[in-house]
């Protein structure tokens, strides 16, 4: 099979979409396709690091990923649904960070697993997380971050939630390429999700 991650990391949009159609036609699951695309985005990030790819490449790959997610959305949403009362998951990309592809994938996976998802968008201020917890009373809150310069935004968000007295009513998770188990521990989160799949498994397993 031609390498989908290579097609995406070289920003070849028509080959990327063609390979995805071929995979869907041969029964490859949408989740496996997302994993291949993630690998492509990581490859591109490494090339950016080494000075072999540039900001326009990142932007273009971001646009291709949006098209990919639109294409895969119906397949992901055809996943399992539950009859029980839906649990609520609030997610946002933390303040000063505008990356949203991984957040969108995480939101989509939670939706496809029967959660009600409130997506706060990108560059979300700590107060906005707090207000949405008060308004939607979620069981789970997720913070996404791709920039290591935004660790402080995670810490500020958790502190704002604690100061508002909401910390005990939610389970808090953190993810995105810049997140680490150490950040999760230092910021007093309940869970670090390396992938969206891990996070949805964790949330689904909670009482
Ligand atoms: C595409 C991209 C962009 C696009 C974003 C488009 C968009 N709509 O999101 C654009 C061009 C806008 C961009 C801008 C910048 N970027 Co950029 N970008 C990337 C790139 C190549 C891919 C990111 C991506 O979408 N990956 C694919 C997704 C699916 O992966 P993911 O987000 O990690 O998500 C998965 C998991 O982490 C998890 N997950 C995600 N969120 C959450 C949340 C929770 C709660 C959980 C549990 C799980 C979870 O689920 C997903 C699926 O499993 C990365 C490289 C990389 N290795 O990540 C650089 C990268 C993140 N960018 C980087 C940089 C430096 C920037 C800029 C500062 C560049 C600049 N000089 O202007 C700006 C920042 C702007 C800002 N203020 O935010 C650096 C960050 C370095 C660092 N250590 O902090 C990276 C790592 C590139 C590099 N190697 O240097 N970028």
All domains in the chain, ordered by first residue: 4-77 (1.10.1240.10), 88-205 (3.40.50.280)
**Is 79's pLDDT higher than 60?**
no
- Inter-residue contact 88 to 140 (CB < 8 Å): yes
Q: What's residue 1's pLDDT?
A: 59
Q: Can you give the pTM of this predicted structure?
A: 0.87
Asked if residue 67 has its Cβ within 6 Å of ligand 1, the reply is no
* Atom of ligand 1 minimally distant from the CA of 91: 45
Query: What is the token pair recorded at 180?
Result: 């680490």
183 alpha carbon – ligand 1 mean position (Å)? 17
Within a 13 Å sphere around the CA of 196, how many CA atoms are in the beta-carbon half?
24
- pLDDT of 80 > 60? The answer is no
- The answer to whether residues 100 and 122 touch, using CB atoms and an 8 Å cutoff, is yes
Q: How far is CA 148 from the centre of its chain?
A: 16
Mapped onto helix, strand or coil, the DSSP state of residue 180 is coil
Confidence of residue 120 (pLDDT cuts 50, 70, 90): very high
Residue 82 pLDDT grade (very low, low, confident, very high; cuts 50, 70, 90): low
User: Which three-class secondary structure state does DSSP give residue 126?
Assistant: helix
Instruction: Look at residue 114 in the predicted model and tell me its pLDDT.
Output: 85
* Ligand 1 atom closest to 143 (CA): 45
pLDDT: is 115 or 73 the higher one?
115
% of the chain at pLDDT higher than 90: 68
> Who wins on pLDDT, 73 or 176?
176
Q: How many other β-carbons are positioned within 10 Å of the β-carbon of residue 65?
A: 22
- Of 144 and 38, which is predicted with more confidence? 144
Nearest alpha carbon, ligand 1 atom 81: 147
Nearest to 150 by CA among 120, 119, 127, 125: 125
| Torsion over CA: 148, 119, 105, 67 (sign) | negative
Q: What is the mean pLDDT of residues 138-153?
A: 98
- The SS3 of residue 93 is strand
Residue 195 beta carbon below 6 angstroms from any ligand 1 atom: yes
CA of 85 to the centre of ligand 1 (A): 33
Which residue CA neighbors atom 39 of ligand 1 most closely?
176
Residues 6+ apart with CB under 8 A from 113: 79, 80, 200, 204
**Rounded average pLDDT over 86-104:** 95
Name the DSSP letter for residue 85: P
Distance of CA 136 from the midpoint of ligand 1 (Å): 27
What's the pLDDT score for residue 152?
98
pLDDT tens digit sequence for 148-184: 999 999 999 999 999 999 999 999 999 999 999 999 9
Q: Tokens 């290591």 identify what position?
A: 148
Q: Which atom of ligand 1 is nearest to the CA of 59?
A: 11
Provide the CB-side half-sphere exposure for 164 (13 A, CA). 20
CA proximity to 196, closest of 133, 103, 127: 103
Say which residues have a Cβ less than 8 Å from residue 52's Cβ, sequence separation at least 6: none
pLDDT bin (cut points 50, 70, 90) of residue 202 is: very high
* Lowest pLDDT segment from 80-89, 103-112, 186-195: 80-89
């Amino acid at each position: 099979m031609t390498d989908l991650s290579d097609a995406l990391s070289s920003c070849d949009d028509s080959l990327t979409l063609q390979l995805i159609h071929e995979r869907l036609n041969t029964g490859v699951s949408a989740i496996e396709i997302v994993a291949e695309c993630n690998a492509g985005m990581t490859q591109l990030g490494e090339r950016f690091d080494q000075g072999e790819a540039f900001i326009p490449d990142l932007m273009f790959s971001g646009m291709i990923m949006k098209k990919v997610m639109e294409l895969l959305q119906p397949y992901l949403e055809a996943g399992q649904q539950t009859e029980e009362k839906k649990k609520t998951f609030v997610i946002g990309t933390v303040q000063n960070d505008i990356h949203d592809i991984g957040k969108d994938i995480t939101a989509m996976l939670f939706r496809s697993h029967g959660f009600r998802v409130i997506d706060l968008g990108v560059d979300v201020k700590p107060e906005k997380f707090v207000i949405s917890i008060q308004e939607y009373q979620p069981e789970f809150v997720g913070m996404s971050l791709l920039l290591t310069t935004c660790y402080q935004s995670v810490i500020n968000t958790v502190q704002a939630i604690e100061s508002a007295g909401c910390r005990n009513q939610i389970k808090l998770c953190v993810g995105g390429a810049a997140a680490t188990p150490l950040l999760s521990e230092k910021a007093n989160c309940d869970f670090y999700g390396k992938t969206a799949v891990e996070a949805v498994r964790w949330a689904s397993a909670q009482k």
